Chain A
Amino acid sequence: MHNDTITFKCFISIIDEGLTLDVDISTKIANLKIRNPLILASGILGTTGAILKRIAMAGAGAVTTKSVSKNPRAGFPNPTVVKLEYGLINAIGLSNPGMHEFKNEIRVAKEGGVPVIVSVFGEEVKEFSEVAYQAEEAGADAIELNLSCPHGPNIQYGQDPKLTYEVVNAVKSTVKIPVFAKLTPEVTDIVKIGLSAEKAGADAITAINTLKAMIIDIKIAKPILSNIYGGLSGKAIKPVAIRCVYQLYEALSIPIIGVGGVTSYEDAIEFIMAGASAVQIGSAIAFKGIEIFKEIEQGIMNFMKNEGYKSVKDMIGLAHKR
């Protein structure tokens, strides 16, 4: 009996190993090969090179920095983040040390050994290009254009197809590394904006940014956030994000990075099946810690083994097949 159990366990582990080797969880965004489809979302933790490096070592396939502008920004006074059962509302206000000082953080982040995507924003088109150029100089592997922060100075870029085109086009003609356009769902037709970014040469779309929201404390009878309005992220916005990714996948031919409420491996796979080539993880870290990258990676691998998928590619956009 005892021996049989051992033999059986060995047999299972051989099968497990065999299948693990068969499952390919790497993915590709433009020319970036990523070891797994899990990317740290912009605005979460990406304030220093050291923490980005730590997230890379915790299992992320790539990391995205906090959005950086040309000059330093202090952001809004506290309270800037409110944690709810179903997500977060934040109005950090795009605080950042300015690209000049941030270049050092990019260099440190690179030591993590995974692609470093630098999120950039500007108050005018020229600033986007200047900041992106400096990020590339510091070693960024890709640029993500924050066209759509609901508590920053520039949401209008992501709400206007023409402005989106201008920014993407300007940055594309300035840097050689891939450029991703991060879009807001707060538009009449996200596909129109996505097509505009694609036409301007964007290498991928990141969808979606947070949704403008607010919260009032009824005993103190005041909005909690100092900025009154903030951006809602996390579980609450996932169905909206899935819808956007699905719509964009139907119309666009460039890859899509899905973001908005990824908290479990099921969420990640749902995004992939809607059409995402990779997903970003952000707010869920407030609920599950930085161990979430390993947990979701393992969950995806088990799912693929059980369902017979050999690579992430096999699942991208699968929900579109009729």
Chain B
Amino acid sequence: MKTMPSRIIAVRDEGKDRKTITVHNKEIAEKAHPGQFIMVWIPGVDEIPMGISHIGREEISFTVHRVGEATNALYNKRVNEYIGVRGPYGRGFKEVDGNIIVIGGGTGTAPLMPLIRRLCERGGNSVTVINGAKSIDEMVFKEELNELAKLGKIKYIPATEDGSLGYKGLATTLLEKLLREGEMPNEIYVCGPEVMIKRVVEIALERGIHVQALVERYMKCAIGICGSCTMDPLGIRVCVEGPVIPIEILAKITELGVYKRDSSGRKIKI
């Protein structure tokens, strides 16, 4: 599918250097599942993959953290401007009921939001959300998560490395603490920095807990033909077989948390 010029209908601050941008695009909104991603074209600048952080009836949102040229350009976009979007792409989360822990690290919480909302809608689930960040101003979606917690739909535990909000320490240390104290999740969903994903996988493997992780790789085509986003040693294409990858496969991916590839295909240490 070609990129679809889509109008920006809302831009919201999401803490320091982060914004949630909403575009009107009914076609993608109707097809998208939690965990899927879109390719966002900023004309004259770049086209980058973005996880979907809200799936509405006729609109979708994504949350951008400005770190480079393309994300900066997106960050500065305003309502009524047009950007190109195509998708939705990839395999999203398989929704599992029961005792669930959702762990988001930094902006990695954003693509977990549609899943969290869906798990709440399904009802009857015990959902614990760990929202980790370096500090309070880098934490995304804390208001909405607070709101869901007040309504009794989730148990919400923010964790910051500097202790500016909630638990002081890493999200993965908090996860280990919860498990030691007797939490018995049947499924863990995770998205965030890759070292964090890797640690969650290790913790879960020791205890036999199933995990679904949303991973990120450099992408060009997003349709499974350029090979930029493949992971060693299985040759998994993150844009087609991912971005959500289950623990059975993650356990075999030797590059997880170790290296990724740049646009030329060279390995870069993580």
Q: Is the pair B264, A283 in contact by a Cβ cutoff of 8 Å?
A: no
B233 touches A50 (CB 8 A): yes
Q: In the complex, are the beta carbons of B43 and A83 less than 8 A apart?
A: no
B2 touching A84, Cβ below 8 Å: yes
Asked if A283 contacts B232 (CB within 8 A), the reply is no
Residue of B nearest to A95 (CB): B264
Knowing A79-B47, A217-B5, the reply to whether A286 touches B232 (Cβ < 8 A) is no
Taking the complex as formed, is B3 at the interface, i.e. its CB lies under 8 A from any CB of chain A?
A: yes
A102 and chain B: residue at smallest CB distance: B265
Residue contact B226 to A45, C-beta cutoff 8 Å:
yes
Q: Known interface pairs A44-B225, A81-B225. Does A220 touch B264 (Cβ–Cβ under 8 Å)?
A: no
B231 contacts across to A, CB distance below 8 A: 50
Report the separation of the CA atoms of residues A107 and B182 in the bound assembly, to the nearest whole angstrom: 48
The distance from the CB of B241 to the nearest CB of chain A, in whole angstroms, is 10
0/1 string, B219-235, CB within 8 A of A gives 1: 01111111110111111
Contact flags A44-59 to B (C-beta < 8 A → 1, else 0): 1111101111110000
Is B266 engaged at the interface, CB distance under 8 Å to the other chain? yes
Q: A110 at the A/B interface (Cβ < 8 Å)? A: no
B196 at the interface (CB under 8 A from A): no
Q: Chain B interface: which size bin?
A: 35 or more
B42 to chain A minimum Cβ distance, whole angstroms, is 10
Q: Are A217 and B230 in contact (CB under 8 A)?
A: no
Q: Are B225 and A224 in contact (CB under 8 A)?
A: no
Task: Say whether chain A's binding surface is mostly helix, strand, loop, or mixed.
Answer: loop
| B3 CB to nearest A CB, Å | 6
Considering the complex, which residues of chain B in the window 12-34 have a beta carbon less than 8 Å from any beta carbon of chain A? none
Whether a CB of chain A sits under 8 angstroms from the CB of B120 is: no
* A residues near B221, Cβ cutoff 8 Å: 80-81, 83, 90, 286
Give CA–CA (A108, B234) in the complex, Å. Answer: 11
**In this assembly, does A92 line the interface, its C-beta being within 8 Å of a C-beta of chain B?**
yes
**A13 on the B face (CB < 8 A):** no
Count of residues in A whose CB is under 8 Å from the partner chain: 47
A277 CB, nearest partner CB in chain B, Å: 25
A217 touches B84 (CB 8 A): yes
Indicate if B58 sits at the interface (CB-CB under 8 A): no
Which of A73, A96, A219, A283 has the most B CB atoms < 10 Å from its CB? A219
Distance to closest chain A CB from B238 (angstroms): 11
| Nearest chain B residue, comparing its CB with the CB of A285 | B225
Q: Does A75 contact B (CB under 8 A)?
A: yes
What residues of B have a CB within 8 angstroms of the CB of A77 in the complex? 45-46
Which A residues contact B (CB, under 8 angstroms)? 44-48, 50-55, 66, 72-75, 77-84, 88, 90, 92, 95-98, 101-102, 108, 215, 217, 219-220, 222, 224, 226, 282-283, 285-286, 289-290
| Chain B residues with a Cβ under 8 A of chain A | 1-3, 5, 39, 41, 43-48, 82, 84, 220-228, 230-235, 237, 240, 261-267
Q: List 30 A-B contacts (CB under 8 A).
A: A44-B225, A45-B224, A45-B227, A47-B230, A47-B265, A48-B265, A50-B230, A50-B232, A50-B233, A50-B234, A55-B235, A78-B46, A78-B48, A79-B39, A79-B47, A80-B47, A81-B220, A84-B2, A90-B221, A95-B265, A97-B264, A97-B265, A97-B267, A101-B265, A101-B266, A102-B265, A220-B82, A226-B46, A282-B225, A289-B224
Q: Apart from A50-B230, A224-B41, A289-B240, list 4 A-B contacts with CB within 8 A.
A: A72-B266, A77-B45, A96-B264, A286-B224
